Amino acid sequence: MSKPLTSEQIAAIATYQEKWWQKAIATEPLDRDRAEQNIRAAYAAVNEPVPRVVFCDSPYQGFLSVDWSDPTSNVVSAIGQLEFAIDMDATRGVGLLDPYTYDGWKIRSVSITFGLAWQQLRGMDIFNRLAPKDKSNAEECFAFELFEQDPSGFIYPTFLWWGAFFDFAFSVLNLQASSDRKGWENYNIKATFQALKDIGGWIFPRRKTCVVCDRPSRIALDEENRPHAIAKAAIEYADGFKIYAYHGVWMPEKYGKLPPSQWQPQWLLTEKNAECRRILLQEIGYDRICSELKPKILDRWREYALLEIENDPNFDPRDVDEYYDLAKHYWGDGFDTEPIYLLTMTCPSTDRQHIMRVPPNLTTAREAIRWVNWDIDPTEFGAET
């Protein structure tokens, strides 16, 4: 039976969280000599020959530098075994350590940063440039491989997301992370983690070559520690690779390089990413949207009107994103294809207009009013007063 954490061990959690938060936002360049030694140690831990180590300034350069025909190193799989191996140690009674008990273990900014970089790479047509041309549907297969974060892929900074947890397990609880899985008896999973934990960038371990990406040269965060910057990149790399973000939401360069006051309502007609659309709606404002886009009036009821802003009928998201179907499959509501429906109310005494977005399945203004007011029919308002 596992033992609960002691008060001293629980008190140490905050120390490891802070340690790994600082790793997550580090912007100083890698010590490449030391990083190469660490890569050699990681390969030795999984009994593989020393690879040729190639350094790149950004994930974009990294993707382009990898020989994707070179089989993936077991270093990737070893990192994937970490949580399983620690769970095995915990069930042996070494210590009770459920990672999901402590949400604070997750260095959330790292996960956000990875997602932002991923979207930026997709926007730069990275998959089309990398996919082998001798396979049918090669581009789609290649994208599926990376979307699934398959062992034939890479180690990305989300590895740091649980880094505090693994570091605590090894350093404070002295867990050994010995795997019982067949074929892994002779691999030192713990040593693999210890070798890679100080690199902190994207790593592409293949059998013959290991591509290592340097850290960002700049990261700008908001008050909630989310990547954020106005009219400039939130994350920058030494080679010029930039990622734009607005309070943690990835933005295309077209939006991100301008202040919100210069964002155009017309962009809403072709923007299919729900989060980007939400930010555009929020910052442009419904008053300006209605003024410039001239929405169609679908229905009226007294001082209320139900309006529709249609998407551009000639716009096909596949024209600008060949992985639209794949992304929608994985991200679902993250890709927004619905028209914008608005409920407006004109105050009889002040003539001021109030606007709220409502679901596009509503067909009448009265339905929209009920939706806004928790299914209370507007005719009941007067009766209640």
**pLDDT tens string 228-251:** 999 999 999 999 999 999 998 889
Side by side, the strands of the sheet bearing 203-205 are 52-56, 209-213, 203-205
pLDDT for the residue 314: 57
Residue at token pair 């013959």: 208
Tens digit of each residue's pLDDT (9 = 90 or more) over 260-309: 999 999 998 888 777 888 899 889 988 888 888 888 899 999 889 999 98
Q: How many CA atoms lie within 13 A of 245 on its CB side?
A: 28
Mean pLDDT within 58-76: 86
Q: Report the first-to-last Cα separation within the chain, whole angstroms.
A: 63
pLDDT for the residue 227: 87
Tens digit of each residue's pLDDT (9 = 90 or more) over 197-213: 888 778 888 999 999 99
Question: What are the beta bridge partners of residue 10?
Answer: none
pLDDT at 23 over 50: yes
Tens digit of each residue's pLDDT (9 = 90 or more) over 327-382: 444 334 444 556 788 898 888 888 787 888 888 889 999 999 999 888 888 887 65
pLDDT for the residue 289: 87
pLDDT for the residue 72: 85
The pTM assigned to this predicted structure is: 0.74
pLDDT at 29 over 80: yes
Closest CA to 13 of 158, 161, 166: 166
Phi first, then psi: give them for residue 353, nearest 5 degrees.
Answer: -100, 130
Total number of residues shown for the chain: 385
pLDDT at 103 over 50: no
pLDDT for the residue 89: 56
Quote the percentage of the chain above a pLDDT of 90: 25
Q: Spell out the SS3 assignment of 216-282.
A: CCEECECCCCCECCCCCCCEECCCCCEEEEECCEEECHHHHCCCHHHCCHHHHHCCCEHHHHHHHHH
Give the C-alpha separation, 243 to 240, whole Å: 10
Mean pLDDT value across the chain: 76
